[in-house]
A and B are shown apart, each in its own frame.
Chain A
């Protein structure tokens, strides 16, 4: 019988008002490659962080090799034999690859020899064995992301940890490199080690994993042998089906999953925003949007589903006039409301009170004062109106926004931006991290404004499939910087899920 190398049970971890883990379990055997799947925000990275000693859970138990342990940091995890390859890079750019590989290693018996002299042959052996080839004497800052990723993996492998944990290692590797990495992982498993692998792509995980665990909203919803699951079952587990239906509240609950069909086109009015052949680049120069064309009309809810980082952010910034496209034409209206994804950083100023946060939207409004002066009593009234109308729980409008709960901060942002959204509302994951009641509230408000004659158009960018399915009158998937219209027949979780997760054509 193979031994259980690591066992994590009932993990709970919150970050502020966001629950990242809500009772997640993971059991890893020696000799297996264990795949962990889940949507963005499902808690995969946090779960791996617990195993790697970088996240401390609030509740739950962690056993390694049958012993209950408490990991106080990454060093602790290393001591217990857990090697974590991060999603983020942890290399020192100004050092060479070899120096990076040598960091934290002993100088050897003499205590004087630099570790590089011992690490070089070990690194060369490991490169030969794994096919992961990196230039040992180049500076890390001169390497591309693919090479850096390989260095990260090599760094972990060199310590030959009994438990190797890799957080999305394949994202920047070429297909051939992915193949040789997977061969290596299987080889490590044959030696009796445990390999835990997080990936977005179901096909990849199925290609290498012996067992699979699926996380959804911070919970483990499925653990199975590879033979016991097919891609459809995994997609359903990831995006939720049974449980999802119960939590799709607000407008979605009232109309089921076919809202688009019901109201689409009925109220859709004049065009309020147009993108025509628009491109956008990331700071790195890589293309974020590739030839995107889109029209948004009053009264419609355009849902954009997709795995995060496929261009949604750039699309939102273009539509809200916060980014001008280097190519193509973006015609956007003045009355745009914007519900940014990260409301504590972008939606509100924590040290401002509710009135001042209201003024963020009104400071350049001609109604908000005369000439250079601001009419604070008037802005206060507007803040009062938002507070009472949207049920923001705060002692008074003079309270600092950072003292509000996440849900109430979101109500404040939603209320303010709805007031602003005369023509268009752009919402990025507007319910992420919210509880059921607050989610229902946001959904109901989006439904309400679009059902009013002359109401704005709405663009809903969300990684939550339940949400886009429930609210959208038109459904698009964003992948690799392109927008794909979802055909009528594919308006199911599986169809969209496959489209957004693997970029595959819908097959249902």
Chain B
């Protein structure tokens, strides 16, 4: 699948974005909108003012960044974790619970506890599909997606039931203690320290993948499980398990950071699908953690611009969802095109000249 790799990755990313822009412009035009006005509105909404950039674009980029890292590290190991959404909700639930129940604790204990609980909960949520994959051979693509529905609906149940705010009016939890809240990163803006935490995670993850033994094993298993086993004597199962848990923890942290930094409470529909968009964020970054910072900000800008586009150009914000989907398609298509051009058509058959059997005629 898609992997890291210097200049090619940049070319793929840039080409994919260009293709997305062209297709989106055509679609808008067909839909009867003015693409130029849409672009201008988006730009002003995302980057137009310092306030727009810091308080909207960057704030929106935080969940993309953390879930994007979750997807990137999993995909690097060949673990197709599509479950960042559910893991995010698991993290959010844990964060809210700790943030409320630990109200008596000082901030220097409570705040780390909230974030750690969120990470642990995400990892635990990922442990279920991980064990199903390793012990039972059940494909993680299906199980992680299904776990998303469980996580989303479990959160919905909690905010209508056991964790609903005391008055029982709104479908949300009560607010977490002040000591559990992330301070502002830029005074006077909505940007919270969670952004810095997320960027730090990206740097740590990049360093781990590049310079540690564990990171090397992750890359080897992701690039070629057979060679990792035969030449590297790497226990792929252990690597897959550890990576799955790390991925879940990052996604859970995304939920925790959103609670502790922005909403201070859990409510139904907390995430509009960040865990899914994260796949586009990670792929566009060629699964490179540092590049995920850039693509997450880009997606944050898209979300920020969507509102402005609706207000100023009268284009429904839902168009942005289409654009995000186009990015995924464009990245996959461009990547495949590059491969085909670079390597040429693959010949069938293995080293012995055995050919694969003809497909059954139907």
Residues on A close to B: CB < 8 A?
13, 15-16, 18, 20-21, 40-41, 43, 45-46, 49, 54-55, 73-75, 86-92, 100, 103-104, 321-322, 338, 340-342, 344-352, 356-357, 359-361, 363-364, 368-369, 372-374, 376, 413, 416, 432-433
Contacts and interface: CB of A to CB of B under 8 A. Distances in A.
Interface of B: 3, 5, 211-214, 216-217, 219-220, 223-224, 226-234, 347-362
A374 B209 CA distance: 10
CB-CB nearest 8 A-B residue pairs: A20-B353, A104-B361, A346-B230, A46-B353, A360-B232, A88-B357, A74-B358, A90-B357
A8 to B, nearest CB: 15
Contacts of A413: 231
Contact of B351 (A55, A100, A342): A342
B231 A347 contact: yes
Contact of B358 (A46, A90, A321, A340): A90
Contact of A322 (B214, B230, B358, B360): B230
Nearest to B216: A363
B216 A374 contact: yes
Contacts of A13: 353
Nearest to B4: A351
A345 B211 contact: no
A260 B350 CA distance: 33
B217, B229, B361, B362: most-surrounded residue (chain A CB, <10 A):
B361
Contact of B357 (A21, A86, A356, A364): A86
Contact of B224 (A338, A349, A368): A349
Contacts of B348: 55
A347 B224 CA distance: 10
B213 A372 contact: yes
A89 B347 CA distance: 21
Nearest to A340: B230
A443 B122 CA distance: 53
A89 B362 CA distance: 15
A21 B360 contact: no
B208 to A, nearest CB: 9
A103 B230 contact: no
B231 A373 contact: no
Given A54-B355, A322-B233, A20 B213 contact: no
A349 B223 contact: yes
Contacts of B217: 363
B227 A345 contact: yes
Contact of A41 (B226, B227, B233, B353): B353
29 contacts: A13-B353, A15-B353, A16-B347, A18-B352, A18-B353, A20-B349, A20-B352, A46-B349, A46-B353, A54-B355, A54-B358, A55-B355, A74-B358, A87-B354, A103-B360, A104-B361, A338-B231, A340-B230, A342-B351, A345-B226, A346-B227, A349-B220, A351-B223, A352-B223, A360-B227, A360-B232, A363-B234, A364-B213, A368-B213
A372 B209 CA distance: 11
Contacts of A16: 347, 351
Given A352-B223, A373-B212, A346 B354 contact: no
Contacts of B214: 372
B352 A41 contact: yes
A341 B351 CA distance: 9
Contact of A348 (B211, B227, B347): B227
B354 A45 contact: yes
A416 B226 CA distance: 17
Nearest to A463: B352
A374 B357 contact: no
A20 B354 CA distance: 9
Contacts of B356: 88
A218 B284 CA distance: 46
Given A92-B360, A346-B226, A349-B227, A372 B212 contact: yes
B353 A43 contact: yes
B185 to A, nearest CB: 30
B226 A360 contact: no
Contact of A45 (B212, B352, B362): B352
Contact of B347 (A15, A21, A363): A15
B226 A89 contact: no
Contacts of B230: 322, 338, 340, 346-347
A356 B362 CA distance: 45
